[in-house]
Amino acid sequence: MPVIYMTGFGNSFETEALAGALPVGRNSPQKVNYGLYAEQLSGSPFTAPQATNQRTWLYRIRPTVRHTGRFQKVDPGFIRTAPAHDKTDLPIGQLRWSPTPIPKKSLTFITGLFTITTAGDAEAQTGMASHVLIVTKSMEREHFFNADGEFLIVAQQGKMRFCTEFGVIEIEPGEICVIPRGVIFRVELINGPARGYVCENYGGAFKLPDRGPIGANCLANARDFLCPVAAYEDIEKPHTLTVKWGGELYRTKVPHSPLDVAAWHGNYYPYKYDMRRFSPVGALLYDHPDPSIYTVLTSPSDTPGTANIDFVIFPERWAVAENTFRPPWYHRNLMSEFMGLVYGVYDAKAEGFLPGGASLHNRMSAHGPDAETCERASKAALEPHKIKDTMAFMFESRFALSLSEYALHAAELQPDYHEAWQNIKRRFPRQKA
């Protein structure tokens, strides 16, 4: 299938892999060209306001209602969903994991999802989960969709191909892919095993944040988001379809490829974004802006200005502020922060936070630069400095994040992370009694 994209975020698109497959002036005509079936995929309630109403018409070889046999519950592996059913821990303090090694055993996108944290309630459509993703095997005649939420996948190592109902998306380290709730897809490897991070959003769909006083430009620009053009498979062989629903996995057989959409139009579709196209803004004279200025996408909550999830990145950028401690300052935060490092070095940590690793600072848990970084930054010459060859990210949520059993007992959990701050020096002069 060709990998061709259309550009723009939130726009309504139309695309066809066969000339004339798209009905003109009708969404669900009595007869569609080529004998296709019309099917609507709705990502919002029918009565949602126009600005947030999401739906797409799919014109496919067979409707998705056709499958053989009932859905059977299967082992979810290491996938967990909020509220998690197994014993979990709500950690107080700072936690960090080393990169998860890529094993020799076969792991597909489904079996290679390892839940680290959960929060909220998927049934109530609030909260999120964070996962580490390890893929060593392409999915073959095997497909998946998530009824609990949308996936935001951050590629960290290796390239991945997402073959979806809407077309094909390929991502590499430094890029993300968002698969909306209910969209059927499979994942293939391109250049060997892949590793990444996944944010599972139970709440409102990700959207671009309001820029406020920043105005119309900078941050993530809509034109840099890409969605696929129509590309269909006409394969009459048995396929497997796995569904994540209510925190469980269910599986059935489909007698043909479910990726059989020859044309579609609408505003509900998967998309990709190259994080290296993000346009950072910052302080040009002094002071340290809040990390919210690095927000790429946000899932809003029912409280204005308080996100269900913010997806925040820390890319290449210039630091130029005068008389300012330039790394992220020490702070305690109402929001919980799950961080990962795609490549390079994160400017707030001297060592221990490695590409492929992760950290968790739950709400009101104090964190900030380690002792070595603090000492170096306090003495640094405040000349213009470019932070180069780096890409870190953060899944930030209003909810406290609970650990999965896997994360709590993982060999990669660093038991001495809290010691990164033990050597912070006293600078205040001692007063005479």
Show which residues are catalytic.
288
Q: Is the dihedral of CA 317, 318, 321, 325 positive or negative?
A: positive
φ/ψ (deg, to 5) at 377: -70, -30
Residue reference for tokens 């007869």? 31
Question: Nearest 10 degrees: CA dihedral of 27, 33, 34, 38?
Answer: 10
Pairing of strands 225-228, 5-7: antiparallel
Long-range contacts of 404-407 (CB under 8 A, 24+ apart): 404/78, 404/80, 404/84, 404/86, 404/88, 404/114, 404/115, 404/116, 404/117, 404/118, 405/86, 405/87, 405/88, 406/78, 406/80, 406/114, 406/115, 406/116, 407/97, 407/114, 407/115, 407/116, 407/117
